[in-house]
Amino acid sequence: MASLKSALRTAQHVRTATRGALLWGYEQRLAREVGEHGKLPRHLGLILDGNRRFAKAAGLQREMGHSFGADKAHEVLQWCLELGIPSATIWVLSTDNGGRDPEELAHILGLLEREARQLSVDPRIHGNRVRVRAIGQHDNFPPNVLAALNNLEESTAHYDGMRLNIAVGYGGREEITDAVQSYLRGQAAAGKSLTEVAQAITPDDIGAHLYAADQPDPDFIIRTSGEIRLSGFMLWQSVYSEFYFCDVYWPGFRRVDFLRALRDFQGRDRRFGK
């Protein structure tokens, strides 16, 4: 009986090792295909969804899902740097999330502060001259979180490499509202009447006042967790974006999933509404 159990364990180890080797080989092939094709998003949007469900499925406290999700964001940043993706926006916390359980929200904000402080001294950020910006509405954030975000932005403000936007306290409708208000304030300061503004306003006027107006619109947006909706992510900018919805929860998002998504993007014919 003991020898049978030993044989079964050995067979299990062999199967696991074989699956791992096959997955590794598949990932390497995908990486070659993506690299050889050459077409990559100029601006990649990432909706990081499924942290709580990941924790529940694994029998963990929900806060652990957010912690694993934060670690995953570090991995994905590395993948973007390796491929040379020029710009990325990751959606970490929405305006709708403000109504969550206070303990959970405090944990998320604590993670945000920790990650901002780590990124401000991360050799990858400085070595690759990554410029980081926090976009969204942050007025209600605790002072320590605001200080960490401000320090991260200031320490990378002079860089000319990859652009990384961290969308926190972010909502697409709120961004458009802020953009319109900013434009109107500028016109009022210039002495324009409401009638003059209404007659002259264009979509470009609003677009110029969005949070990341100096970057191209996202051409590819990935959402994890299997949910097939944007939930307000970059509503104005995503009018011609390509979308990819991945079934895996964010903390379980693998490099092979990332490469599959990019290969899918490379196979699409973008027509921009024509």
What does the pLDDT look like over 98-144, one tens digit per residue?
A: 778 889 999 999 999 999 999 999 999 999 999 999 999 999 999 99
The binding site for Mg(2+) consists of 49, 242
The binding site consists of 49-54, 62, 66, 94-96, 100, 223, 229-231, 242
The binding site for substrate consists of 50-54, 62, 66, 94-96, 100, 223, 229-231
Residue 36's pLDDT band (boundaries 50, 70, 90)?
confident
In a domain, 274, yes or no: no
Would you state the structure tokens that stand for residue 176, as one six-digit string? 């458009």
- In a shared domain, residues 48 and 31: no
- In a shared domain, residues 23 and 48: no
- In a shared domain, residues 94 and 182: yes
- In a shared domain, residues 119 and 250: yes
For 155, counting Cβ atoms within 10 Å of its Cβ (0-12 exposed, 13-18 middle, 19+ buried), the class is middle
- In a shared domain, residues 107 and 178: yes
Predicted confidence (pLDDT) at residue 3 exceeds the cutoff of 80: no
Cα 46 from Cα 218, distance rounded (Å): 10
CB atoms within 10 A of CB 160: 8
Would you state the structure tokens that stand for residue 268, as one six-digit string? 């699409």
Cα 20 from Cα 10, distance rounded (Å): 15
Residue 185 phi/psi, 5° resolution? Answer: -60, -40
Residue 17's pLDDT band (boundaries 50, 70, 90)?
low
In a domain, 24, yes or no: yes
Please tell me which residue in 71, 97, 122, 217 is annotated as part of the active site: 97
- In a shared domain, residues 221 and 256: yes
Cα 149 from Cα 151, distance rounded (Å): 5
Give the count of domains, the chain. Answer: 2
Predicted confidence (pLDDT) at residue 12 exceeds the cutoff of 80: no
What is the three-class DSSP state of 135? strand
- In a shared domain, residues 167 and 116: yes
| Residue that is written with structure tokens 């406290």 in the block | 61
Kindly report the pTM of this predicted structure: 0.89
Average pLDDT over residues 169-193: 97
In a domain, 272, yes or no: no
- State which residues form the domain around 161: 41-266
Please tell me which residue in 49, 122, 219, 257 is annotated as part of the active site: 49
Closest by CA to 221, choosing from 132, 77, 69, 89, is 89
Active site residue 219: no
Average pLDDT over residues 6-10: 53
- In a shared domain, residues 119 and 216: yes
In a domain, 273, yes or no: no
